[in-house]
Structure 1
Amino acid sequence: MHCQTCGADSSTVGACPRCGVSPDRPPLSPGMPTLAVHGIGLAAAIGVGLTALLYTLVALAPVLRVLLTPPGGDPGRQPAPLAAEGLLSLAYVVVFLATAVLVMVWMFRARKNTDAFPGGRKVLAAHWAITGWWVPVASLAVPCLVMVGIVRDTLDRVWLRVLVGVWWLAWLAFGIADLVTSLAEVGDRVRRAEQGLTPDLDHYRDAALRNTVPALACLVAAAALVAVVLRVSAVQQARIDGAAWRAALLPPSTPTQPVTGPTPQVPGDPTVASPQVPPGSGGTIGA
């Protein structure tokens, strides 16, 4: 048994595992536009993975200072670790900003496509896929709600919704842990400056240990988000391409030509007239 939309082998009961279309529903609502998500979804997934990798390297950069500092040297004045840390931090900021744009655009496109999927429950408008990240307080929940709606209306699978929850919880944990470690780093530097001390090897060891928590949360959030983006992109693109493939197989409809000539008349049976009796001789009676 093959799916009527994308042609994939669909031996399971219910929605197609590839395109998410139920046998009793059309793949797309007539007249609703759709947006491509495969390319930008792949770019967003690569950006998320690269961002997580760069953040992990930046978070563990104090270990580099410890390893490259000679015995008796000052780890805060080593040029090689300082230059490497600066380049990693710059690369992380650039990649993070570019990835943020890609993820927002992908979420907007994926949310917009769900408007064309029959049977979905649209709770938030598509613009919340972008504006939800910028509104104070609302940014703590709106992006997750938008992603849940995208997953529900695209391919409602329990494991996919669990991945969305893991992504958002890990993202919040990463933000809180990164803020806490940054404040702790600043506080430690201020305390040492007040005491006339410079950061030593113990300082960088402690910093690397503190940074382990946000680094792990970042990796978990990135892995979950990459899995969601790639799966949703594949399902949506299969549905969109399958709908186009299905429409291409249908024969074009022949438009009905209007009738411009007169309506032909159907000849009827001739009327049989009664025979006429010729008048008799003599004219009128009694003449």
Structure 2
Amino acid sequence: MRAPPRRTPWTVPMLCQTCGDATSPNFNECQNCYTPLGQPAVTPGLETHAVRGIGLAASIAVGVTAAFYLLSALAPVAGIVLARQAERDGDSEVLFGAVLFEVAVSLPFVVAYLTAAVLVIIWTWRARKNIDAFPGALPVLGQGWAIAGWLVPFANFVVPVRVVANIARDSLWRRSTPWLVVIWWASWLVFSVGERLFTRKNDLEYAQLPETVVDPADYRAYVDYYQGALGRNAIPAIACVVAAASFIVLIRKISAAQQDRIARATPAWPYAPVPGGFVPGTPVPAGASGTFAPPQPQPQPQPQSVPAPQASADTPPASPQVPPMAGGTIGA
């Protein structure tokens, strides 16, 4: 007689609490988001910070800064037009208009740049602090470097990209640094170094221009200067636009990923157990109606009546005491 075939017990696969994918007991971590098996999306008791709002503000500030720098880089176009007009009119006073226009577009760029720098540093610090609360994250540098890395000379050429790359890997579930981080930092270095070098060269060439413009050759020198400055400004301007665009996309992706992960560890709403009903989110037992029973009012204890003491027959009833009234005594 053949033995009946053995039945394999059916088990429900464990789902990752961070990404929701099914996990395998053959691995110690989720193969999608690298969260250790059985660990929550956020470690309980560790503080997290909201990054969506500050990330949006930083993105807007970075975009505005890039727009103002692009306008500043194109300022020599106005210089070329005004220098040619001054040559035609023979009026050297027109050349001051080019200087005023360049100053007018440079001041908003400085203000926007400082604003964007503050917001980006705050966002970087919050995003770096959040990954300490993510199980499975692999922090490389301490939280303090998220601020100091932007401010310490020479270190700001290396530290910020390491911090942001670490944040991107642990927030976007990557084991390697995303290419978007590489594009952002490479274009940022080209912009930072190129802007300083070409600004200094423009200043040196402007200092060699004739202060007193008397003949067409002097006017032509101003036209040549502005044409050369426009060509030199093209390299940092393109790098600035690429760096700003890639960094904005990076901020938005990291902020959305972190907020979603924090939301998975936050209860949807606070609730208290319902007397006689079921707790929301728990399965309904078999045979139950599946409806929530409203809380039943508890019966209030009834006050017990105490019998009044009986007066003795030998003791005459006492009359109630009347408090003395102002103005004398009764019967006086």
- TM-score where L is the length of structure 1: 0.75
**Deviation digits for residues 241-277 of structure 1 (CA, Å, limit 9, x no counterpart):** 221136858969xxxxxxxxxxxxxxxxxxxxxxxxx
Distance change in 2, residues 1:185/1:153 (3 Å):
same
Q: 1:186 aligns with which of 203, 207, 210?
A: 203
Q: Give the structure 1 partner of residue 94 of structure 2.
A: 77
Q: 1:123 Cα deviation (Å)? A: 1.5
**Deviation digits for residues 43-100 of structure 1 (CA, Å, limit 9, x no counterpart):** 0001111101100100110112223552625687346544433221111000100000
What is the Cα-based RMSD across aligned positions, in Å?
A: 3.3
Q: 2:81 aligns with which of 57, 67, 76?
A: 67
Q: Give the structure 1 partner of residue 261 of structure 2.
A: 239
Letter in 1 for 2:109: Y
Percent identity among equivalent residues? 39
Q: Give the structure 2 partner of residue 155 of structure 1.
A: 172
Q: 1: distance between equivalents of 2:238 and 2:172?
A: 29
Distance change in 2, residues 1:149/1:72 (3 Å):
same
Instruction: Decide whether the 8 Å contact of 1:14 with 1:22 is kept in 2.
Output: no
Q: How does 1:196-207 map to 2 (within 5 A)?
A: 197=218, 200-207=222-229
Q: Give the structure 1 partner of residue 310 of structure 2.
A: none
Runs of 4+, deviation exceeding 6 Å: 8-13, 20-23
What 5-or-longer segments of structure 1 have no aligned partner?
A: 253-287
Q: 2: distance between equivalents of 1:216 and 1:75?
A: 33
What 5-or-longer segments of structure 2 have no aligned partner?
A: 1-14, 24-29, 273-278, 281-332
Q: 1:30 Cα deviation (Å)? A: 1.3
Q: 2: distance between equivalents of 1:157 and 1:64?
A: 47
Distance change in 2, residues 1:33/1:76 (3 Å):
farther
Q: 1:156 Cα deviation (Å)? A: 3.0
Q: 1:194 Cα deviation (Å)? A: 8.8
Q: Report whether the alignment pairs 1:209 with 2:245.
A: no
Distance change in 2, residues 1:5/1:64 (3 Å):
farther
Q: 2: distance between equivalents of 1:108 and 1:136?
A: 18
Q: Report whether the alignment pairs 1:170 with 2:184.
A: no
Q: 1:154 Cα deviation (Å)? A: 1.0
Q: 2: distance between equivalents of 1:80 and 1:10?
A: 63
Q: Give the structure 2 partner of residue 56 of structure 1.
A: 70
Q: Give the structure 2 partner of residue 116 of structure 1.
A: 133
Letter in 1 for 2:75: A
SS of the residue 1:245 aligns to: coil
**Deviation digits for residues 157-193 of structure 1 (CA, Å, limit 9, x no counterpart):** 4897211111111111111111121121122123334
Q: 1:22 Cα deviation (Å)? A: 7.7
Letter in 1 for 2:132: D
Q: Which has the larger radius of gyration?
A: 2
